[in-house]
Amino acid sequence: MKIVIFLLFTIYGSLFADFVFASQADDEVLRIQRAYENIKDISGSFIQKSHIKDLKRTDTYTGRFFIKPPKMKWEYRGDNPQTVFVTEDHIIIHQIKQRQAFQTKFDRASYGQAPMALLGGFGNIKNEFDITSKTKNTLILKPKGPMGNISYIEIITSDVTTNATTDGKPPVFPIQAITIVDNRLNTIEIHLKNVRINTGLKDRIFNFLPPEDVRIFRR
């Protein structure tokens, strides 16, 4: 009898835990989607850690980002600076020291080239991903269809409200960090810092205006 009661308790406990995590995931997804409904532009700084599993190597990058959906611009600083421009239909990677740029078509299958572009499209998160909750503030997103070489995405959400508060503080972007894991278990981890929302970013920020000596390769 004790064994039966223990088994029932274990089963119901597991079901309850699944229900709680599913409820948490739904709440966080709703919070993200509501925030995106009111977002016109986003800007801030970032720290990116790219880990290559087979080489056991992690490279760290820093820079600034600007998002005005569907346009994005990511400025990487350091010894090999580059700027990434993303629009609805193409991506440009400008390698500044090499005086060259690569332009190619950009679509769902191209997210492996610029996974940071995912930040511009989380407003339709339920349409694109199957979502589970890892912890209270961590979501696991698995693409419903092919998305380049992406296996799954982990999102760490902000632990504060996304709406303006009564004390006059501005709204807070709902995502703190994202980690993209590919089919070979390589990871790209992006932490967002000093994020500002709806500051009125000008369209010219997203225009690629290369110097005359830059070679452009189109694919």
Tokens encoding 100? 């060259």
Tokens encoding 206? 């997203």
Region 5-22: what's the mean pLDDT? 42
CATH architecture of the domain covering 2-218: Clam (2.50)
Q: What average pLDDT does the chain have?
A: 81
Distances (CA, A) of 95 to 92, 102, 217: 10, 8, 11
Nearby residues of 141 by Cβ (< 8 Å), 6 or more positions away: 125, 128, 129, 130, 131, 152, 153, 154, 155
3-state secondary structure of 4: helix
Assess contact for 140 and 152: CB atoms under 8 A.
yes
Using pLDDT thresholds of 50, 70 and 90, give the confidence band for residue 185: very high
Check pLDDT > 90 for residue 194: yes
| 113 against 96, higher pLDDT | 96
Using pLDDT thresholds of 50, 70 and 90, give the confidence band for residue 13: very low
Most confident of 14-18, 87-91, 152-156: 152-156
Check pLDDT > 90 for residue 46: yes
Confidence at residue 87, expressed as pLDDT on a 0 to 100 scale: 86
Map out the domains of the chain as residue ranges: 2-218
Check pLDDT > 50 for residue 9: no
Check pLDDT > 80 for residue 209: yes
- Residues of the chain above pLDDT 90, percent: 49
Check pLDDT > 50 for residue 4: no
- What distance in Å separates the CA atoms of residue 96 and residue 80, rounded to the nearest whole number? 8
- What distance in Å separates the CA atoms of residue 146 and residue 129, rounded to the nearest whole number? 11
